[in-house]
């Protein structure tokens, strides 16, 4: 299987048309385009390279301060004998409206989940015109992660607007597969496959699993989803050492209709947290994670190429990490595919908003559940994180409605996917979750260990000595039986090619030289690897980004110091 075949590796069809490349582009700072019917055609000489957002070098357009931007693409209708045609925008930030030949075919809210709509009814023979309007309200009442808005923290970056993932069309049957989910039971050697369809229907679904078992079939019987089960003899399990993927073929047939045929894949593995740590296929593993912001030279929010995305995963593994915590971003689907193939564990985290409101509660909940639905497919994804720290729920200790939202998302996530751990809010003011996770940026091993011991003994104590520091857990939270992880630490700023500036952001004072940097990293990682009270850690961070200088790599992915030295200390090797 080759991820280059389709931008969506987990559900592939034999025919599809990429709509990337050059598009017409127009900013709409006064938001007049709708009234002037720009969806009938843009009057512009500006061009943009999709799927790179404005401001990315590869887009060909400068960063846009406009809250509304428009895109237009003309294309020739493919000669497809098909009942329906799907259009998918991998991601469009933030509100998107889509027209084909002047017909509104779809609207979507959210910058991190795919936009999919049927468009055959609006298409015509020969040349067709597609127009997309994107609006970013630049408010913290929506999920936006590290994208700056009407205010900008020292850890925020330039915002993104518009198309930042692939755009494509594909022919499908009227009733077609929209997702496939896999749940493997390690003790029973049993795999269940949930096939979700575009609408309720009658017919037959047939699924085959590589060479492991014969095909299994099930009647749809008027439903929009069907579950099939495989009993496996001697299955080859997925693990970082052997990230084996089984090819899956699915066929959906109905009377007097075209069949839908898709190719997928799955990895057979089971994960859980126990009191003493993280378990994969019944074996305990110490988690050594890296915080990865997911920004790229030249592409900004979008990886410039497949090779550079793969290289990020390879570098993570070379540095000695077995886990990536994708921080405040949902990555391109190809990232999760290559994590599946290369054996990198991933924590999936929802980009946060920062102002608790009805809009944030509704937008974030909807998008989070869409993400949980879409990423369940991947064996590499081993935990869900709907909230980072208290972002967007700043007053959990005094406002019950904020606590209840955190609890609700924990349980809602569990209802959608009971097979993975959920850390409802990661880092401080723990409310509910399957692990007690802490963000501790003390800059010596001794100080880090002291803070950890204090929080284990008294979880409602502050996580740091600084004024206004948040507590580790709210006083009503239950921590009984939970493992402890330090899921942000380190954050040591260093750039041997430059001096520290006021704009540069890191935790603690800059080390004076490389020797001082190495000493601090060695001191902290030694404490992390030799502390039996924790089940793992996440180091901040993989690369420098913008003003943040606490990466182990520069933004261009070149290492600041010897990778072999770093790998040895990250893994706690002698």
Residues 103 and 239 both lie in one domain = no
pLDDT level of residue 219 (50, 70, 90 thresholds): very high
| Model confidence pLDDT, tens digit, residues 26-42 | 999 999 999 999 999 99
Residues 115 and 214 both lie in one domain = no
pLDDT level of residue 1 (50, 70, 90 thresholds): very low
| Model confidence pLDDT, tens digit, residues 220-230 | 989 999 999 99
162 has a pLDDT exceeding 70: yes
**Choice among 10-14, 57-61, 214-218, 268-272 with the minimum mean pLDDT:** 214-218
Residues 160 and 182 both lie in one domain = no
2 has a pLDDT exceeding 70: no
DSSP H or E run through 68: strand 68-76
Closest by Cα among 104, 112, 156 to 136: 112
Let me know if residue 483 belongs to a domain.
no
Segment 458-472 shows an average pLDDT of 94
Let me know if residue 434 belongs to a domain.
no
* Cα gap 412→429, rounded to integer Å: 20
Range of the domain at 212: 177-266
The conformational region for residue 240 under phi > 0 = left, psi -120 to 50 = alpha, else beta, is alpha
Let me know if residue 17 belongs to a domain.
yes
- Among residues 114, 141, 172, the one where a domain terminates is 172
Let me know if residue 310 belongs to a domain.
no
3: helix, strand or coil? helix
The values of phi and psi at residue 201, to 5°, are -160, 175
Residues 27 and 144 both lie in one domain = yes
Let me know if residue 98 belongs to a domain.
yes
Q: pLDDT at position 270, please?
A: 98
Residues 283/30, Cβ–Cβ less than 8 Å: no
* Cα gap 188→411, rounded to integer Å: 26
Segment 228-234 shows an average pLDDT of 93
Residues 153 and 49 both lie in one domain = yes
Residues 134 and 215 both lie in one domain = no
| Cis peptide bond upstream of 51, omega within 30 | yes
* Cα gap 56→166, rounded to integer Å: 15
pLDDT level of residue 3 (50, 70, 90 thresholds): very low
Q: pLDDT at position 500, please?
A: 65
Residues 557/315, Cβ–Cβ less than 8 Å: yes
Residues 118/85, Cβ–Cβ less than 8 Å: yes
Segment 211-224 shows an average pLDDT of 86
* Cα gap 499→536, rounded to integer Å: 33
Residues 75 and 136 both lie in one domain = yes
Residues 239 and 260 both lie in one domain = yes
* Cα gap 102→114, rounded to integer Å: 22
Residues 97 and 152 both lie in one domain = yes
DSSP H or E run through 567: helix 563-570
* Cα gap 470→429, rounded to integer Å: 7
pLDDT level of residue 212 (50, 70, 90 thresholds): low
Contacts of 202 (CB under 8 A, 6+ apart): 219, 220, 221, 222, 254, 255
Let me know if residue 515 belongs to a domain.
no
DSSP H or E run through 515: helix 514-529
Residues 63 and 40 both lie in one domain = yes
Tokens, residue 537: 């850690």
- Among residues 172, 196, 230, the one where a domain terminates is 172
Tokens, residue 254: 């109905």
- Report the chain's mean pLDDT, rounded to a whole number: 95
438 has a pLDDT exceeding 70: yes
Let me know if residue 235 belongs to a domain.
yes
Cα of 206 vs its chain's centroid, Å: 30
Segment 277-297 shows an average pLDDT of 98
Segment 278-285 shows an average pLDDT of 98
Tally of domains in the chain: 2
| Model confidence pLDDT, tens digit, residues 412-432 | 999 999 999 999 999 999 999
Name the percent of the chain lying above pLDDT 90: 93
231: CATH: 2.60.40.10
Let me know if residue 90 belongs to a domain.
yes
- Bridge partners for 100 per DSSP: 103, 130
168: CATH: 2.60.120.260
Strand pairing category for 484-490 and 436-439: parallel
* Cα gap 373→422, rounded to integer Å: 14
- Among residues 133, 154, 172, the one where a domain terminates is 172
| Model confidence pLDDT, tens digit, residues 127-144 | 999 999 999 999 999 999
Segment 44-63 shows an average pLDDT of 97
């Amino acid at each position: 299987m080759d991820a280059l075949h389709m931008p969506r590796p987990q559900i592939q069809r034999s025919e599809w048309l990429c709509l990337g490349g050059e598009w017409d582009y127009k900013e709409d700072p006064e938001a007049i385009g709708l009234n002037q019917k720009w969806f009938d055609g843009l009057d512009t000489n500006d061009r943009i390279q999709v799927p790179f957002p404005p401001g990315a070098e590869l887009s060909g357009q400068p960063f846009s301060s406009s809250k509304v931007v428009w895109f237009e693409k003309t294309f020739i209708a493919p000669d497809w004998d098909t009942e329906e045609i799907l259009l998918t925008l991998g991601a469009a930030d933030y509100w998107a409206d889509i027209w084909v030949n002047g017909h509104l075919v779809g609207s979507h809210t959210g910058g991190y989940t795919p936009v999919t709509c049927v468009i055959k009814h609006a298409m015509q023979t020969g040349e067709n015109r597609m127009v997309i309007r994107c609006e970013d309200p630049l408010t913290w009442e929506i999920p936006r992660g590290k994208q700056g808005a009407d205010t900008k923290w020292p850890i925020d970056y330039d915002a993104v607007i518009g198309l930042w993932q692939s755009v494509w069309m594909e022919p499908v049957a009227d009733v077609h597969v929209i997702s496939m989910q896999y749940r493997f039971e390690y003790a029973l050697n049993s795999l269940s496959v949930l096939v979700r369809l575009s609408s309720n229907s009658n017919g037959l679904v047939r699924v085959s699993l590589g060479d492991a078992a014969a095909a299994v079939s099930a009647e749809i019987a008027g439903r929009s989803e069907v579950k099939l089960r495989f009993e496996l003899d001697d299955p080859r399990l997925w693990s970082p050492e052997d990230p084996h993927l089984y090819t899956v073929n699915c066929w959906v047939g109905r009377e007097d209709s075209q069949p839908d045929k898709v190719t997928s894949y799955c990895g057979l593995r089971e994960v859980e947290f126990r009191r003493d740590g993280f378990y994969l296929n019944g074996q305990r593993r110490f988690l050594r994670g890296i915080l990865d912001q997911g920004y790229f030279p030249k592409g900004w929010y979008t990886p410039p190429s497949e090779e550079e995305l793969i290289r990020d995963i390879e570098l993570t593994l070379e540095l000695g990490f077995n886990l990536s915590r994708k921080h405040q971003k949902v990555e391109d689907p190809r990232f999760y595919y290559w994590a599946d193939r290369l054996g990198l564990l991933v924590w999936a985290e929802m980009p946060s908003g920062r102002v608790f409101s009805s809009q944030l509660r509704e937008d974030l909940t909807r998008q989070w559940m869409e993400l949980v639905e879409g990423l369940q497919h991947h064996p590499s994804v081993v935990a869900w994180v709907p909230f980072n720290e208290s972002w967007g729920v700043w007053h959990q200790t005094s406002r019950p409605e904020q606590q209840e939202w955190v609890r609700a998302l924990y349980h809602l996530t569990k209802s959608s996917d009971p097979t993975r751990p959920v850390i409802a809010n990661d880092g401080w003011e723990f409310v509910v979750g399957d692990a007690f996770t802490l963000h501790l940026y003390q800059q010596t091993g001794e100080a880090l260990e002291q803070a950890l011991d204090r929080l284990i003994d008294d979880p409602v104590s502050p996580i740091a000595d600084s004024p206004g520091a948040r507590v580790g857990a709210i006083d009503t939270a239950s921590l009984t039986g939970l493992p402890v992880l330090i899921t942000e630490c380190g954050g040591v700023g260093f750039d041997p090619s430059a001096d520290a500036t006021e704009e540069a952001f890191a935790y603690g004072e800059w080390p004076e030289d490389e020797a001082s940097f190495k000493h601090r990293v060695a001191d902290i990682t030694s404490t992390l690897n030799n502390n039996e009270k924790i089940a793992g850690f996440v180091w901040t961070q993989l690369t420098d980004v913008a003003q943040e200088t606490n990466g182990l790599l520069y933004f261009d992915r070149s290492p600041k110091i010897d990778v072999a030295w770093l790998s040895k200390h990250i893994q706690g090797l002698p």
